[in-house]
Each structure stands twice: as structure tokens, then as C-alpha cells.
Amino acid sequence: MSGRAEGLRVLVVEDESATREELATLLDAAGEVRAVRAAESGEAAVRLLGTDAFDAVFLDVSMPGLSGVEVGRVLGMLSEPPAIVFVTASEAHRDAARDMGAVDYLLKPVRDERLAEAVARVRAARRPEPVADELAVVRIDTGRHIFFVRRDDVYFVEAHGDYVRLHTGAGVHLIRQALSHLETVWGPAGFVRVHRGYLVAIRWVRDLRAGSSSGLLAHTPAGDVPVSRRHARALKERLLDAVREQG
């Protein structure tokens, strides 16, 4: 579908034509994706995999004939298997997806922000030097002295014009950086967008609370972070994934 010179090569496997076309279109519009092909069944996917190479397969679970889980097992036998992202309407196969090393598990209907996260995970999994290492340590220059803040010590990030505030246990630090750039380079390290003006580190979210305006607040040791309705579902999924990974 796309002719970009750089980026990921992606295969979409989905038996429902409308869902297949929508997912392929969204992926084709992603800046990190070079080319997208689509297969209407597990058998068609296996044939394509025998003649072409892909960086990632976005794989429906429930399909006539070969299921997504069965296709995933075939992928695992390749010498250089692509990253697997399962796309399904059910939680039932999450354990099987984890066992075969799937990089993400998306629930239908797929939201734009969750698809972007999945692409970021694929990109990180395909690179020996993941983008999460960029800005792993942030240099703070106050004019009087210079010190450094570790990304892992940041609880959440707040947009402030052309700057962002890094909220840590030691205080708040202002740096000139775009929130969107931090979302890209820190996404693989567990930072997720929860509001148009906030990123939060999943590892530091203690619980979710009801806010005064009927919205959600993500509670961290550095304070509460507003969660917009648009991002609430994706945040809950990421928190659930984090708990399962710890177990």
C-alpha cells in the first residue's frame, strides 16, 4: 500500500473485510510503517510469509481455518520471525499470546493511540538499540548549576508551553522539550499518554481514582495525573498488562 523508503513492513491478517481494510489503512498512515499487505485468512497469510518478509504481523485470533494462534506457531518456526501483535475481541487468548512472545495484544475496536503504542513496541523489538534509550538521562541546566535526572525516576510529564515539567520524587524540573517527542522516545520505556498535556510512567501508577469532574485520576507518588476519557481504556489495558507481567 505504501512506498516509503524506510520503516516497518507489516502484514495484516483478518477475515472480516471492513476490519482488515480499516486496520491496514491506519497502519499505512503510521509514519513508522513503510509497507502494508493484507491477508483474509490464516492460510493466505502462511502463503505470503513463504514468499515475502515482514517486520510485524497484526493477527486476528478467531478466523475460519487456521486460527491466529496457529499462524503464530507457524511464525515461531521461521528463522527470522516477525513481531506478532494479536488483534481480537476477547481476552481469552492473552496467555497464549504471551507464551509465544507477542509484543502486544489489542482489543477490538482498536483505538488509534493503542495502535500507535503497538507500532512503537514493534519498532523497539526490531531494533538492537531501542529508541527508549534516547534521553534515558536528562541534563538539567538551571543557569547556576547542571545536574542530571534519570528517566526511571520520573513519575509523570506535564506539558508547559514549549517546555515540559518532569515530576520526580526530588521535585519538578523544567526542560525545553516537546511532549510529543518524549511520548515517542519514552513510550517503549513505559510512558503513556493519558491526557493531551500529560504522560505517565506505568510503573509509578499506584491506582486510579475518580476525579471531582467525574474523570479519572492516575495516582502516583508525585501527585495525581488527569486521565481523559479518550485515553482511559488504553491506560487500564496497560495497567492490567503490567500486573500480569509481574505475576
The alpha carbon of residue 129 and the mean position of all alpha carbons in its chain are separated, in whole angstroms, by 17
Contacts of 171 (CB under 8 A, 6+ apart): none
**Most confident segment among 24-33, 153-162, 236-245:** 153-162
CA distances from 208 to 149, 160, 219 (A): 26, 24, 6
Q: Which of 69-73, 215-219, 224-228, 240-244 is predicted with the least confidence, judged by mean pLDDT?
A: 240-244
d(CA 68, CA 52): 19
pLDDT digits (tens, 9 = 90+) for 32-65: 889 999 999 999 999 998 888 999 999 999 999 9
Reference 56, options 115, 3, 131; nearest CA is 115
- What is the number of other CB atoms lying within 10 angstroms of the CB of residue 74? 15
Tell me the whole-structure pTM to 2 decimals: 0.53
Q: What backbone torsions phi and psi does residue 47 show, to the nearest 5 degrees?
A: -65, -45
**Most confident segment among 4-8, 77-81, 205-209:** 205-209
Q: From start to end of the chain, where are the E strands?
A: 8-13, 33-39, 56-60, 83-88, 104-107, 137-141, 146-150, 154-160, 163-168, 171-175, 191-195, 198-201, 207-210, 216-220, 223-227
Eight-state DSSP code of residue 56: E
**Most confident segment among 94-98, 217-221, 235-239:** 217-221
pLDDT score for 195:
94
- Per DSSP bridges, beta strands 137-141 and 8-13 are unpaired
pLDDT digits (tens, 9 = 90+) for 68-103: 999 998 888 887 889 999 999 888 888 888 888 899
Across the range 157-162, mean pLDDT stands at 92
What's the CA dihedral at 14, 69, 54, 99 to 10 degrees? 140
